[in-house]
Every structure is written in C-alpha cells, then in structure tokens.
Amino acid sequence: MEKQIKISDYIKTGSLPTGKLNKITDVKGVRVGHSTIKNAENYTGVTVILPSENNIYTNKLEAAAYVLNGFGKSTGLVQIEELGLLEAPIALTNTLNVGKVLDGMLDYVIDNLASDDVFCSINIPVLECNDSLINNIRKRAVETKHVYEAIENACENFEEGDVGAGTGTKCHGFKGGIGSASRIVELDGKEYTVGILVQTNHGHCEDLRIDGKKVGLKLKERIDELNYAEKGSVIVIMATDIPMSNRQIKRVLKRVDIGLIRNGSYTSHGSGEVFLGFSTANVHTSDSKAFFTTTYVKDDFLNIVFKAIGEATEEAVLNAMLNAHEAKTIQGKTCHSLRDYFDLILEEFKE
C-alpha cells in the first residue's frame, strides 16, 4: 500500500488538534472496512462502518440524519429521523448497488447480531454516490461476498482514497474517494473526539480551495479534462464520544456544510448531500426497564463541536482526494489524481 497522505501534515486547515490517527476511528469502538472492485469494467466497491464493539442491535446508539440536498437513494434514514437511534452498521456503495448491499447487510445482521428471540425487524443505513463516470454502474458488481469482505477487513487504521465505496468517485474534477479526519475538543476539562468519514463525488475544479487559497483555478489552467459536471454526491458520516441527544447530533450535522463550503462546494441541483451521525456515549440497551439515565452536553457548549465538524469535514475531503489515484472514465478520459499535483499546491503555501 502506498504511503497515505494527510493534508494536515503539510497544510494546517483549522486550529483544533487531531486525534491519534486523524480518522473517524479515533472514536473508541468505531472501525471501518472496505471491499474494492477494480477490473476492466468495474471500478467500485463497498465501505462498512462498524459503530461499536458491542452488538449494536441490542445496544443502540443516539443518532440523527440531515439531508442538505436530497438527490440521493439512501436507505434507513426515515426510522433514524423518527426514533433517533442507530441499530445496525452503516454501509456506503454506489447508487445502483444499494439494494444488493442492503441484502448483504441483512444477511450479516441476521447471522451475527439478531438472536431469534428478539429479532423481527432491522433498520440498516445504506448510503450511496453515483460512480457511473468511471464505473460501469449498470453491471451492479457489488455482491454479498463484498459486504462480508468489507466487514472482515474493518479496522482502526483503514485505507483512504480510491478504495471501497470511493473506488469510482470523483471530486472537484479530480479522482475522489473515501477520506477521514478527526478533531479533539475539550469540555469540562475532558477530551472528546469528533470523527468524520466522507465519500466524495462532488464539486468543480475551478471552485476548489485549500485553506482559503483558490488552488483549483491554477490547477485547471495546467490540466486538461477537468470539466466534469457538478452533479454527484457527498456522503458524510460523523462519529463522536460526546454525550449528545439525537436532536443535538442533528444540529451538529447541519454544520457539515461549513467544511464543504470551505473546499469550494456550493451544493448543486444534482448533488446529493446526505449526512449521518451518531454518538457512542449513551447506549440504549434492550431490557424491560421503562426508564434509563443519560447525560447530555448543554447546548451552550456546542460551539466548539460545530467548529470541530467543520474542520474535520474540510480535511476529510482533501484526504480523500490526495490518496486517490488516477483513473480512466468510461469514455476513456483521464480522471487525474490531486496527489500528482501536490507539489504545485504546496508552492502556493510557501512564504
């Protein structure tokens, strides 16, 4: 595996400290796995986020979803909106494989998480981006075996770039992919983590900014074949160990767009911006008790969390692009890697 790049190792985006790995898995218990398909026809895959080391079906987590622009085909958001709970792992894939990935996830949950005495229904979030620019999406190449492979590969120090659900995506005219970042915040003298994972498939090259600099305009002057239409999607998953209610999680998710805007996205008509977040702090166990005790942060103290999610999202998008490799579109055009032009970008930041 080629050495992974973090934009924050070269260019400081934001002011908050990062977690140990600077990934969503800096939140204890969270793991991420990929299954990647690369062949003559298909450039796609599946990514699975395991939110907890416990059986999440019987140990549900506070969660929320926020749809900024609803040009998407995700599953599982309606029940999360209604109940404010996450009860299954999260999967990301391409648009036409949502149903097949959902089938694979159902098989996994039935076999591994749901015992006969409690199981009668399950709500599994499967989110998507349309990777048809690079992938022959109509072949629907992702199968149940790929879902299981992604789950088996789940770990803390997972790969970023053109892997899993990000294998065939593009971003700001360049190759997109899976990216991640984290930020550490302090509340009442204790450190907490806000982690982000993105599936990037959005944006124009000319709009791309890094730490406020209009790098996209200069890159476009040097590189051909960057004029891909701004219609795709970006999926953003947030994990945190901050004790928050589902209402508060949704408030935080609404600030994801701050990070996307900093990178130059303006949420076009055809781009689906779908955000899903959860907290590992308050676990809803399956028992017969009518009440349980929880702790939530006061709303007055959420400002630092709003800042953290903006910074982490901004960096996660750039990390996805910097770790993705050059690919060919279905029409044979080159989808360039931002990594190949990183030296030019760094020139912009030399004093």
Catalytic sites, residue numbers: 233, 271, 273
Rounded CA separation 24/197 (Å): 6
The first and second tokens of residue 29, run together, are 């218990």
Residue 110 half-sphere exposure, CB side, CA atoms within 13 Å? 8
CB 226 within 8 Å of CB 348: no
Give residues with Cβ within 8 angstroms of 252, minimum separation 6.
194, 238, 240, 244, 277, 302, 305, 306, 309
- Give the 3-state secondary structure percentages of the chain, helix then strand then coil, rounded to 5: 30, 25, 45
Instruction: Classify residue 210 by its DSSP letter.
Output: B
Rounded CA separation 212/226 (Å): 20
The count of residues in the chain is 351
The first and second tokens of residue 337, run together, are 């890697």
Instruction: Residue 311: count other Cβ atoms within 10 Å of its Cβ.
Output: 24
Rounded CA separation 171/89 (Å): 26
- List the one residue out of 175, 167, 316 whose CA is nearest residue 237: 316
Rounded CA separation 196/179 (Å): 8
What residue type is 51 in one-letter code? P
Rounded CA separation 51/30 (Å): 5
Rounded CA separation 95/296 (Å): 36
Rounded CA separation 154/253 (Å): 24
- List the one residue out of 277, 77, 125 whose CA is nearest residue 196: 277
